[in-house]
Structure 1
Amino acid sequence: MKAMLLQETGGPNALKCVEVEKPSAGSWEIIVKLKNASLNRRDVFITYGMYPGMKLPAVLGADGAGIVESVGDGVESLRAGDEVVINPGLQWGDDIRFNQPDFHVLGMPADGTYAEYVKISCENVYKKPAYLTWPEAAALPLSALTAYRALITRGELKKGDTVFVPGIGSGVALFALQIAVAKGARVFVSSSNDEKIERAKRMGAAGGINYRSEGWAKALKSEMGGADLIVDGVGGETFNRLIDLAKPGGRIVSFGATAGPVPQLVLPRAFFKHLDIRGTTMGSPQEFADMLTLFEQEKIHPVIDKHFPLEKAAEALGYMENGDSFGKIVLDI
């Protein structure tokens, strides 16, 4: 079968299209013939070797959707021909509060979805919501699950909350906007791109600010009035601004740090405001199922930015790395 294999690090161009052996299903496993896969920022980091537990060679890709090709012994919940979406979080464990030490994500070290077929445990395969197209279904898993857990489980989102989502345009940030709006929150966003802010407003955001403008945090707080909940995947030097933007008693949920580590966290500003600062990543199998249910109930459609053929996955990762995308980048297989 055709697959995009990373044999050595060196950035997106190190990813090569090769022929590899088609996997076969063992007990409790399923082979999915993929229709689409989607990109995540972790894939870019992996190509540079900037990811924990690096083991190469590996077929990259966490997200995918397709048709069940075959099932192994013991699989009763699904059968050949079923339309499915994959939960890429492997071996979460039994405690919804946090993952167990063996938790890992599909697409390194386990071969992932940048291929014509993928082998996956049956417990990680779910029926595709019928209202979604194949590209939309493939866009969901990692980013939508991360956003769902950050908002609902860790963020304890309530109807009427004021929510701030920095860095709008990424997959997780856009899903966070869509989920929060669907739940009746008042959402504000930030970006360095005015067009992204305007697009977010058309999707239901109450307002937004260009973080390159002088005095942006003060201007945003004047318009927003302080946030009950901030869902942040940026980190870096601006994290302390989030403490200023949060209401007393507010919650800040961090799911990433694309701008790097926080250089100096001024703790008194957090504890004098009685803030909760919480970490999160991915989510449990139950949260994945609950996320799919919410999306189907609200008929939320993922934002697709651009399509690439499978064999141009390296080019697609380079496009993602440039940071110009608004929504998910999808591979057609």
Structure 2
Amino acid sequence: MKALVLKDKVKPGGEIAKLYYEEVADPKAGPGEIVVCLRYAALNRRDVFVRQGLYPGIQVPAIPGSDGAGVIAELGEGVEGFKVGDEVIMNPSMGWGDNPKFPDVNFSVLGVPINGTYAEYIKMPAENVFPKPKHLSWEEAAALPLAGLTAFRAVVTKGQVQERDTVIIPGIGGGVATVALQIAAAHGAKVFVTSSSDEKIERAIALGAAGGVNYKNENWVKELKKLAGGADLAIDSIGGDTFKDLITLANPGSRIVSFGSTRGPVNNLLMPRIFFKQLHIMGTTMGSPSDFAQMLALFEEKQLKPVVDEVFPLEKAEEAHLLMEQGKQFGKIVLAIQE
């Protein structure tokens, strides 16, 4: 099969590792496993971080990619409930374990060191394979798993979003933030967003947001406070000074859920701002099998569709990564593998 292979380890801060488009051996299904013929894959910022050497435990050679959708090509011994030809998507949360509160010590994310979706075929444990929601196109289905899982756990499982909550999501446009907006709005929450792009704010409003502000404006925190009236729930992937701004915007007794820190550490945080407001601050990453199943059920019940920004052929993945690094997309960037 054709695949994109990561072969070179790089040190953090060094040159980004190249992806090699080449022939590799087809995967074979062992007991309890399923081989999927992939139609589409999708990008995540994790893929770029792996190429930059920013994840621990990187092993090469390996095939990146955490998101994908396709058709079952082979069933391993003991697999029940599926048949060859079924249309499926994969849960990229590998080996979560039995405790829904946190993952097992052997937990990993699909795609480095476990071979991922930047390939024509992939081998998965049967427990990680789910029927493709029928209302989604192949591109949309490939775009959903990691972003949908992360956003659902952040907004619902951890954030406990409620109808009429005011939710703030900074940095709208990324895959997880965009899905988090859809999930919160589907629960009847009033969602406000931030972006450096007025166009992205307008697209978020068309997707269900109640409003937003451009964080390039010097007084954007005051603007958002006046517009939203404070947050009952904030979903943060940015960290840095933005995290402190979310504490400023937080209503007493509200929740802040963090799943990323693209702007680095939070420096000079004044703890009284947290405990005097009685804030609940929670961390999350990925999600449990139950989270994934509930996320799929919500998308089917509400007929939600993840936003696909642009589609590249598999062999052009490095160009797609560059677009994602520039932060110009709104929603997910997808790779076409086999039509």
Asked whether the 8 Å contact 1:228–1:250 carries over to 2, the reply is yes
Sequence identity, in percent? Answer: 57
Tell me the equivalent position of 2:94.
90
1:157 alignment partner, SS class: coil
Contact kept? 1:2, 1:115, Cα under 8 Å: yes
Where does residue 196 of structure 2 map in the other structure? 192
Q: Distance in 2 between matches of 1:33 and 1:260?
A: 38
Which position in structure 2 is the counterpart of 1:6?
A: 6
Matched, 1:213 2:213: no
Q: Are the counterparts in 2 of residues 13 and 315 from structure 1 also a CA contact under 8 Å?
A: no
> Shift of residue 291 of structure 1?
0.3
Shift of 1:317: 0.8
* C-alpha distance in 2 between matches for 1:60 and 1:142: 14
Q: How does 1:87-236 map to 2 (within 5 A)?
A: 87-236=91-240
Deviation at 1:79, TM superposition (A): 1.4
Q: 2 CA distance for matches of 1:89 and 1:166?
A: 25
Indicate the SS of the match to 1:147.
helix
Q: What do residues 64-113 of structure 1 show as CA deviations (whole Å, max 9, x unaligned)?
A: 00000001001012111110000010000111111111100110000000
Q: Are residues 1:74 and 2:72 paired?
A: no
Measured after TM superposition, the shift of residue 9 of structure 1 is 4.1
CA-CA distance at 1:265 after TM superposition: 2.0
1:230-264 alpha-carbon deviations (Å, 9 max, x no partner): 00001112211110101000000001111112122
Alignment-derived partner of residue 20 in structure 1: 24
Cα displacement string for residues 256-290 of structure 1 (whole angstroms, at most 9, x for unaligned residues): 11111212222110000000000001100011011
Q: Distance in 2 between matches of 1:197 and 1:289?
A: 30
Structure 1 Cα separation of the partners of residues 9 and 319 of structure 2: 15
- Pairs aligned (count): 333
CA contact (8 A) 1:12 1:314 kept: no
Q: Give the alignment's TM-score, normalised by structure 1.
A: 0.99
The residue that corresponds to 2:288 in the other structure is 284
1:71 counterpart letter in structure 2? L
For the pair 1:32 / 2:36, whether they are aligned, the reply is: yes
Unaligned 5+ runs, structure 1: none
The answer to whether 1:243 aligns with 2:247 is yes
Question: For residues 92 and 183 of structure 1, what CA distance do their matches in structure 2 show?
Answer: 26
**Cα distance in structure 2, aligned partners of 1:153 and 1:16:** 38
Q: Which shifted more, 63-72 or 264-273? A: 264-273
TM-score, normalising length from structure 2? 0.97
- What are the Cα deviations for residues 101-145 of structure 1, in whole angstroms up to 9, with x where unaligned? 110011000000000000010000000011100010000000110
Q: Is the 8 A contact 1:23 1:31 kept in 2?
A: yes
| CA RMSD of superposed structures (Å) | 0.9
